[in-house]
Amino acid sequence: MSYLFPPTIPAVAIKNRAEQFPVHRIYCVGRNYAAHAREMGVNPDREPPFFFAKPATAIVANHARIPYPSRTRNFHHEIELVVAIGKGGRDIPVAQALDHVFGYAVGNDFTRRDLQTDAKDHGRPWDTSKGFDHAAAITAITPAAQSGHLRSGRIWLKVNGQMRQQADLSELIWTVPEIVAELSTFFELQPGDLIYTGTPAGVAALKQGDRIEGSIDGLDELVTTIE
Ligand code: MN
């Protein structure tokens, strides 16, 4: 096999391992914390969470400097638990879903909020608001064999030392096993898939020079700077 252009495989570091985690697809859950659904103007009792996707090439490693994106004046942070899939499958039962999880990471689902609002208003897709370059920051993946499966624990994000988002994983509307099971009824999951599981309330605008720190109990701290 030869290629016209050399293919690049986006990859994420794995804690205490020499191998990298090759990223197949990036799936995201929208409005998976009730307080965040409300701040987006939606009643979480009437509208359940849903899925969207980002290209695998949107991945940004921990400690990166991220360029403030073009075509936005309202660039937002969204701290999230990320699930790394190690075993594929479709129509996975909830009771077996955790067998498909390789590990966990801390991610930031960066968003051009103004373009997303405009897309919602006009019934248009979210690619330009969610799927742009550098839109998926992520720490190294901690294998579940080291961390155990995460059901609760503090999730938080600070900008320039000021707390902006703070919640607990136990507040997820769809739990990790429910997300994996539900997603696998739409797509055949593959090893290398990442799932951003949704952000808590407190999303807000970033500006050039901002230092963003965030973490989840038991996982690495994600640090990025906007330039
Ligand atoms: Mn999100």
Inside any domain, residue 45: yes
What is the Å distance from ligand 1's center to 198 Cα?
Answer: 5
Residue 33 included in any domain = yes
Output the domain CATH number for residue 78: 3.90.850.10
Question: Quick check: is 133 in a domain?
Answer: yes
Summary count for the chain: helices (H), strands (E): 5, 17
User: Ligand 1 centroid vs 143 CA: distance in angstroms?
Assistant: 22
**Spacing, Cα 97 to ligand 1 middle (Å):** 21
Asked if residue 152 lies in contact with residue 169, where contact means CB atoms within 8 angstroms, the answer is yes
For the segment 32-38, the average pLDDT, to the nearest whole number, is 95
Residue 49's domain comprises 11-226
Closest CA to 76 of 157, 188, 170: 157
Has this prediction a pTM greater than 0.85?
Answer: yes
- List, as ranges, residues with CB under 5 A of the ion ligand 1: 78, 109, 199
Distances in Å between the Cα of 13 and the Cα atoms of 108, 126, 188, 189, 209 are: 16, 28, 24, 20, 26
C-beta of residue 219 within 8 angstroms of C-beta of residue 106: yes
The answer to whether residue 6 sits within a structural domain is: no
pLDDT > 70 in the chain, percent? 100
Kindly state whether residue 207 falls inside one of the protein's structural domains.
yes
- Residue 1, domain member (yes or no): no
Residues with Cβ within 8 Å of residue 6, at least 6 apart in sequence = none
**Distance from Cα 1 to the centre of ligand 1, integer Å:** 37
Predicted confidence (pLDDT) at residue 22 exceeds the cutoff of 90: yes
CA 103 – CA 192 distance, rounded (Å): 11
- Asked whether residue 34 is domain-assigned, the answer is yes
Centre of ligand 1 to C-alpha 28, Å, is 6
Gap from CA of 77 to ligand 1 centroid (Å)? 9
Question: Ligand 1 centre from 80 Cα, in Å?
Answer: 7
Q: How far is the CA of 78 from the centre of ligand 1 (A)?
A: 6
Query: What's the gap in Å between 109 CA and the centre of ligand 1?
Result: 5
- CA of 111 from ligand 1 middle (Å) equals 8
Grade residue 62 by pLDDT with cuts at 50, 70 and 90: very high
Question: How far is the C-alpha of 89 from the C-alpha of 39, rounded, in Å?
Answer: 34
Strands 221-226 and 111-112: unpaired
| C-alpha 6 to ligand 1 mean position (Å) | 31
Whether 220 maps to a domain, the answer reads yes
pLDDT confidence band for 1 (50 / 70 / 90): confident
Give 12's strand partners: 21
What pLDDT digit, counting tens, does each position of 101-122 carry? 999 999 999 999 999 999 999 9
Q: What average pLDDT score do residues 181-200 get?
A: 98
Number of compact structural domains in the chain = 1
Q: What angle do CA 123, 32, 79 make, to 5 degrees?
A: 100
Kindly write down the DSSP assignment for every residue of 160-214, as one continuous string.
TTEEEEEEEGGGBSS-HHHHHHHHTTTS-B-TT-EEE----S---B--TT-EEEE
Q: Which helix (H) or strand (E) holds 116?
A: helix 113-122
C-alpha 88 to ligand 1 mean position (Å): 23
